[in-house]
Each structure stands twice: as structure tokens, then as C-alpha cells.
Structure 1
Amino acid sequence: MPLKPSKRNPSVAPTRLYEFGITKSSMRIIMSVTPFLAPTRRMFLLSAGAFIGATTLSRSLAAKSTNPAIGLATGAVAFDGDALLIAGSTMSRSDDGGKTWTGLSAPANIISLATHPERPGRIASGLASGGVAFSDDGGRTWETRSTGLVKGEVSGLAVAASQPDMIYASVEGDGLWKSEDVGKSWSLAMDRPWLEGSEQDVMALVSVELETGMGGIWIYAGTPVGLTRVPDCFCRWQDVQPGDAMDALVSGDAPPSVSPLPQGEPLRALTSALSSPETLYAGLPSGIWMSRDGGVVWSHLTKGDASAVAVHPTDENYLIAAFGDITKLSRDGGATWSALPAA
């Protein structure tokens, strides 16, 4: 697969490294250092301390309603253990499968959410106004933790599959950032992916533990033009391909042509259950799509302009998805859906 220019290395000429006899082990070493080949705008921002401070925001619990999420423009959905979360300008939480809801005040307009079953009650929210807010009590109180994070809309969030204190965030117009201390400090992990001849913003993120990756961990990303991913060494964005990741990267094989996601559609939402990491769900304007093999082959589950989707951490068939101002649940892997009743 040809290397593509980027802000870090704009002079890279298209070539295939395997033509020069570079081995897998050599490739791993080369790729582990390539992100540091050239300084970027972000390095200067970090050295200048452009974005500092952490502000605590206390939010009180609001009254219950049957479903305050209906009619609300939904920015993100998630599971906190068995609880359902719906967020936008406010947040709603249901602890009984969507029968009743508790309305919560959001720290700001929320456009992305991330949780992890090993940290019940901890919710990370990406804000349209910039920054990441965290709650450790299921969404009742919030604290912004954005020291070192560049300013900008946080369009995607993910918790590392096997390291629940590591958080990944994508910032619109910038790149992929990571925090190893639950948001207390942030550092740049990767520039935006280079797709279709230009850098693309990341609209959705999910951390997936698969045997085919380097170290087993992949960060999958949805962009305005489709799907891409990077191993957690953050060496290089690449297409999703079958088989061993290093074999595919060295040989330059093209991604499979059978049953991919629709070409050119913006991929707004991605999710994977820890109980079945090879099972992925994606939200696109054409609807909800599913893959059972880590994103190599996709099938179309349901039509509808899907803006958000999440899967239960221990039940890969239990889904919540947002279609505009309508939120739906599926208990059978997306075969059938039921809309949450209006208030």
C-alpha cells in the first residue's frame, strides 16, 4: 500500500517498502518512529501551553419523565453497564431498558460518548464547544479535563478496550489525541487520516481488540468518506483488510471488494462489544450496518439516517441507535427495532 503524504511527512513519495526488502520486524521499527519525523503545528501549541486548566461543573439531578429523549436532537448514545444513555443538549439515562428516563443536565452540548464496563458510572463526553467532560457518578455531576488538548469540537471518543483509564479523542480540524490518566493530561497520538486525496476529520472512534493487529489493539475511525483504522502503536492509518495486519501492510494488498461499506458515505458512528470485539456496528445515512469479521465484510441491517449507535458491553445483540430525533432499540442484533415511546 503506498505511503501517503501528511502534515508530519509531506514529502513522502508513493512507493512500496517491501520492494526494498524491508522485513516485518524492520517495518515495525520504522513505523514506530515515523510519527516523529517532523514537527507539526500541534507540537508548537503544546509547547506554548495553548490549552490549560480543568473546571469542575456540578449538575443536579432533574425530574423523571417517561422519555425526555423523544423530540431531542440526539448527539450520542451509549451503555453504562445495563443503563441506556442518550445525549445532546441534555442527557437522559434509563436504568430499566427504556421504560422510564431520568433527565440530567449536560456539561455542554454533547456530540460523543464513551464508557467501559470495568468502570461503571464513569462517562466521558465530547463537547461541541471543545474539551472532554467526565462523570464518575453516572452523569449526575461533571468535570472538564482537557489540559493539553487542542481546542475544537470533540467529534469522537473511545475508551481503550483493555485499558479503561486510557481515553482517545478526535478533534475536528486537528487529529487523534489520547489521555492515559482519564483526561487529566492529553497528548497528540496521530494526525488525521489521509483519504481521497486529503486529510479527513474523524467523526467516530472505537477501540477494538483483535488478534490480527500489532499488539492486538486497533483504533477504528469513521470519516466523511468511510472507514479507516490504526494500530495502537499509532504508526499509520490504513484500510481494513483481511488476514494479518502486517502482511497486508507490507504487501500493499487492496481491501476486499466484496460487501464493503457504501463508498463515500460519511461514517458517523461506530461501536463494538467487548464480549464480541470482531462484531462491529456502523451508523451511516443509509442506515445501520454490521460486520462479524472486524470490518472486512459488512451487511445492511436497517435503513434510516443513523447518527449514533451503541452496543451493550456483554450482549452484542442489544443495540441502541438514533435516527434523527427518534431513538430505537434492538435485542436481536439489528434484525428488528422498536422505537422508544413518545412522552
Structure 2
Amino acid sequence: MRSKFTPALSRRGFLASCAATGAALSLNPAWADTDGASNLRAAPTSALAFDGDTLVLADAQLRRFDPSGEVVILPAPRIPIRTLACHPDRPGRIFAAPEGGGVVLSLDGGRTWTAASGGLPQAQIMALTVAAGAPDTVYAAVAEDGLWRSEDAGESWSFVMDRPWIAEAEREVLSLASVNLASGMGGIWIYAGTERGLTRVPDCFCRWQDVVAGDAMDALVAGTPPAPEAPLPEGEPVSALASAPAAPERLYAALPSGLWTSEDGGVAWESRSNSQPQGLAVDPADPNHIAAATLNELKHSRDGGGSWVTLAAF
């Protein structure tokens, strides 16, 4: 697995040159009409995130599920939300990527939104994640382009990495997770679920690589790391990916074959359910408390996916 470097006249350069034009559409460009925008991938049914101990579900509207059982339905946005990202150190602050492109930011739990797309290309954001050790740092996977980073909570963005090169082609990133592990450059990894499986990159952004046991630098030097002990099913898209802030080595992944979990940072995986979630979220205080949205329902589990309780039916 290797990085593929794009030439100078790349799609990325073209998209970036369009950003200023897109920003002029309105005060809040991400909520502007997008009749001419191309729909690169069908959107997930819903996006999920834990805002503190409250579960947030977003699609054509936004709902907050309080631990007490209260459900607050917020006014529907003009454009459905594709993906959400929160950080346990910033309760009430939510990043969202609407259909059609751009990133928006809420500081009041999703009640009001402002643009947070400074410098981003006007293209669909496929996935978002907030850096595990730096709540003002946000990563966005831009369709047909690559990975972008903001270090000032969305005020400005810069390109950091091409899309993963897997099986002789660049692959679209469908899901992201930032994980604080005791390996890599500074211990922070960005995991990406792609159309063809799971990959990751240390936050030095040297190259995408397979998820393997041991020190990241050893794997880089070796060039041909050993195969994982129990990898995810080969070639399946990883449509949703969630890390557990309270247990950094715990990961959950949603594939067509079902829900999978790893206890060692993604080296070995175990099947937990044959359901096919479109969205996943992990309680920041309890790695066993997870939520999943399927085509028909929103449900949660208090035992890491062993048993489930339905919160809402669609």
C-alpha cells in the first residue's frame, strides 16, 4: 500500500480554486441551494454522534436523545446532514457536513449553525472526525480529492493527504476516526474506512498503511508488514467507523457483512452482529455504550453490541 501523488494540475487544485466562488453564494454557503451539485455517492440514511452523554441523530432533521429518555427534535435544516463529528472536551460543539459540500459548526448542540468551510473545495465531504488529542483540529475527507485538516475549528483548511491507494486505484474515504494509541508519531492515528477496506495514517501524514501490530515506524521501515491476525473481510466497504475515547484501542466498524469490533487498534476483528448500520457512535465515557442507525431504526447497546434496545423506528 502506498500513497499516490497527484500532478500539479490535479482535481484538488481545480476544486480549491473554486472555493472562493462557492463561499460567495451566501452568508452560510453550506446551506445554499445545490441544484447543480453532482451526487458522488448515495448518502447514508443518518449520521450519529455523541455530544457528551446525549446522542445526536441527523438526516433531514436533527434529534437529540437525552440519557433521561427525552427526545428533542430541532428544526430541519435546508439540506440533510451526511456526517457529524464531536469531541468529549467540547460538549455542545458539533461539526456537520451537509449534502452538496461544505462544513458547518454548531456551538449550541445543533440549534444554530455557522459556516466552517474556509478554504475547503466546493465538493461533497464524505466523512469528518475531530482529532483525539486536539479538539480544535478537524479532518474532512473530500470526495474525489483527499484528506483536509483544520487546526482552528473550521475557520481555515489545508490539504494534508491524497486518498488511499488500494488495489491499484485511489479509493474513496467513507468514514474517519482519530485514535490516540501508544504508537506512531505522537501516538495519534487517522483511521479511514474506504470502498475497499480499512487503512490508516499517522498524523505526520507520511503514507497510508495497513493496520498491523507493533510500532508504526518499524512497519514503515520494513515496507512489507505482516498480515493482520484477524482482519476485516477483504474488499468490503467500511461505511461507518467509530473509536472509543475512553478505551483508545477499541474500534467499531460497519460493513455489508455486519458490525465488527476490535480491541487492539484494528489488528484483530470480531463480528458482533449481522445488522448493517449506516451510522455508528460510541459514548465518550463508556466504550461499551454504542449506538447504530440502520435503514429502519436507531438502537443502542450497553454491552458493546451483544444486545440492543431500539430508541426510534423510521
Query: TM-score scaled to structure 2, two decimals?
Result: 0.89
CA–CA distance in 2 between the matches of 1:47 and 1:150?
A: 8
C-alpha displacement at 1:78, in angstroms?
0.8
CA–CA distance in 2 between the matches of 1:5 and 1:183?
A: 26
- 1:182-216: CA deviations, max 9, x gaps? 11111111111101110011100111111111111
C-alpha displacement at 1:293, in angstroms?
0.4
Identity %: 50
The answer to whether the Cα contact below 8 Å between 2:50 and 2:283 also exists between their aligned partners in 1 is yes
2:205 equivalent in structure 1: 234
1:269 equivalent in structure 2: 240
CA–CA distance in 2 between the matches of 1:50 and 1:153?
A: 16
- 1:112-144: CA deviations, max 9, x gaps? 110011111000011111001110000100112
Alignment CA distance shift 1:3-1:262 (3 Å):
closer
1:55 equivalent in structure 2: 27
CA–CA distance in 2 between the matches of 1:155 and 1:5?
A: 19
C-alpha displacement at 1:255, in angstroms?
4.3
CA–CA distance in 1 between the matches of 2:312 and 2:14?
A: 50
C-alpha displacement at 1:315, in angstroms?
0.5
C-alpha displacement at 1:164, in angstroms?
0.3
Q: Pick the aligned partner of 1:223 from 165, 174, 194.
A: 194
Q: Report whether the alignment pairs 1:91 with 2:62.
A: yes
Q: Report whether the alignment pairs 1:168 with 2:167.
A: no
CA–CA distance in 2 between the matches of 1:3 and 1:190?
A: 12
Bigger radius of gyration among the two: 1
Please tell me the residue identity of whatever aligns with 1:42: R
1:149 equivalent in structure 2: 120
C-alpha displacement at 1:227, in angstroms?
0.3
The answer to whether the Cα contact below 8 Å between 1:51 and 1:148 also exists between their aligned partners in 2 is no
2:107 equivalent in structure 1: 136
Gaps of 5+ in 2: 32-43
The answer to whether the Cα contact below 8 Å between 1:79 and 1:313 also exists between their aligned partners in 2 is yes
Q: Pick the aligned partner of 1:118 from 64, 85, 89.
A: 89
Alignment CA distance shift 1:318-1:215 (3 Å):
same
Alignment CA distance shift 1:335-1:107 (3 Å):
same
The answer to whether the Cα contact below 8 Å between 1:318 and 1:329 also exists between their aligned partners in 2 is yes
C-alpha displacement at 1:56, in angstroms?
4.2
CA–CA distance in 2 between the matches of 1:226 and 1:107?
A: 33
C-alpha displacement at 1:75, in angstroms?
2.1
Query: TM-score scaled to structure 1, two decimals?
Result: 0.82
The answer to whether the Cα contact below 8 Å between 1:285 and 1:307 also exists between their aligned partners in 2 is no
2:41 equivalent in structure 1: none
- 1:11-50: CA deviations, max 9, x gaps? xxxxxxxxxxxxxxxxxxxxxxxxxxx6744346546745
C-alpha displacement at 1:100, in angstroms?
3.1
C-alpha displacement at 1:232, in angstroms?
0.7
